[in-house]
Amino acid sequence: MRYISTRGGCPPQTFEEVLLTGLAPDGGLFVPESLPVFSPEEIRGWQGLSYSELALKIITPFIGNEIPAAALRTVIEDSYAEFDHSEVAPLSKLGDQEWILELYHGPTLAFKDFALQVLGRLLEQVLTRKKQRVVILGATSGDTGSAALEGCRHSNHVDIFILHPHQRVSAVQRKQMTTVPGDNVFNLAVEGNFDDCQRIVKAAFADQSFLPADLSLVAVNSINWARIMMQIVYYFSAALKLGAPDQAVSFSVPTGNFGDVFAGYLAKGMGLPIERLIIATNKNDILHRFISRNEYSITDLSKTFSPSMDILVSSNFERYLFDLFDRDSVALTDFMARFGKEVLSVSTQQWQRVRACFDSASVDDEATCQVIAEVFKHTGKLLDPHTAVGVKAARDCRGEASIPMISLATAHPAKFSEAIISAGLAAPELPEHLRDLFDREERYTVVPNDLGEVARFITTHCRH
Ligand SMILES: *Cc1c(COP(=O)(O)O)cnc(C)c1O
């Protein structure tokens, strides 16, 4: 499989090349040159496979023979052995044809473990063979940081530096990042906000000359293709359990960067019968405004109970727009150049194509808390606020009542107790393996909001 940039300005790359980078050199995002498509017979034959077996079926076409089959199997099996549920991604019933897909049974209690456990091991596999080292650099508002640190800490060929905004992440989120052991793990608390952290990371990727010549930076946010690829698997897993390919299903996806829902869109393109994909946003509703009104523009950032979706611009949306523009890089580059300066829209015909696949809703904090309280009362299930946004959006957009509706449960409620308490419920306990989190020793360094200072920290601490 070859990968091309959405901006059309660089030659096709291998899986390995795409894994070991971030944005494409032309500023675009990498996408597969073509999608593997599975027939209904093939998909039917996967009923009853374990999660790891299914994952191998789905990702192998994207990797080809670049990673030996036996090594890939070990990577996948080891990654999902870290999860504390035998099904890895169990479904749980909320009501008539209404389900949640529990994606929070990994080590850091959010769906990001599905991809980052694998990403860390894939990097180790590839870098060992190439006798190469890399530096992982990422900014986080919470969940990505801990999942990336947890996934990469065992790698002997990686030093990992995660920037978070000093005193602006929740206590649980900070503790989850700063208590990860390892000589190759570095947490930097930047004296600024999340956007400042992201700006520093972007600038560092754009000019890597501060690094020793034999090192380069690798991205762990969802611009890294390997993350999207791993997230396709749970759409297949959930749909198969409810009767796919002979039964169509719909998904509701709480989304920020459009990464998770883009994986669902790919699953549909690969032959999974997905009726609707519902884009669930909080008050930060750029995607909802586009889907419902064909308006694509930036507004101000709102702070909400679902902080992992508090973002202004969904970076992965570019991957979808590339398809919507029939893979015309020139048209896409022009569209992206105008973004932020004016309110953009697509042609009526393109927008109809959007509407044929996606629905959307924006859910505020009050409605989020109402859903948390209501679902707890009727089912005894405690939803985290991101999941509650998804469940509410699913109910608002409910189409054909006979089609199962699956909302992705993206985090464990104990990670976001503020919303649970506001919903009038008792704060949930952390799962067993994290009970002593607040007694563990923290390690982090406070740094000024300055690229030069961050670069200096990296060069003094990375091994090469
Ligand atoms: C990251 C995250 C999201 C948003 O995922 P995207 O891939 O950015 O759309 C939703 N919920 C939780 C709990 C998250 O950590």
What letter would DSSP give residue 258?
S
Give the confidence band of 154 by pLDDT, cuts at 50, 70, 90: confident
The helix/strand/coil state of 249 is strand
What pLDDT does 353 receive? Answer: 97
In short, whether 307's Cβ falls inside 6 Å of ligand 1 is: no
The helix/strand/coil state of 160 is strand
What pLDDT does 329 receive? Answer: 98
> Which atom belonging to ligand 1 lies closest to the Cα atom of 314?
8
Asked whether residue 97 carries a pLDDT value surpassing 80, the answer given is yes
> What is d(CA 132, CA 304) in angstroms, rounded to the nearest whole number?
41
In short, whether 196's Cβ falls inside 6 Å of ligand 1 is: no
Enclosing H/E stretch for 189:
strand 185-190
Domain boundaries, the chain: 85-109+225-422
> Which atom belonging to ligand 1 lies closest to the Cα atom of 384?
13
pLDDT in tens, 330-358: 999 999 999 989 999 999 999 999 999 99
Distances from the Cα of 44 to the Cα of 1, 90, 258, 347, angstroms: 24, 19, 28, 37
Q: Six-digit token pair at 125? A: 């596999």
- The residue whose two tokens read 């029939």 is 326
What order of strands is seen across the sheet that includes strand 358-362? Answer: 91-95, 98-102, 405-409, 249-254, 274-281, 358-362
> What is d(CA 1, CA 14) in angstroms, rounded to the nearest whole number?
7
> What is d(CA 46, CA 244) in angstroms, rounded to the nearest whole number?
10
- Which of 1, 4, 2 minimizes the C-alpha distance to 322? 4
Asked whether residue 41 carries a pLDDT value surpassing 80, the answer given is yes
**If you classify domain 85-109+225-422 with CATH, what class do you get?**
alpha beta
Q: Report how far ligand 1's centroid is from the alpha carbon of 45 (Å).
A: 31
In short, whether 112's Cβ falls inside 6 Å of ligand 1 is: yes
The reported pTM is 0.96
Instruction: State the chain's maximal CA–CA distance in angstroms.
Output: 59
- The residue whose two tokens read 């995607």 is 287
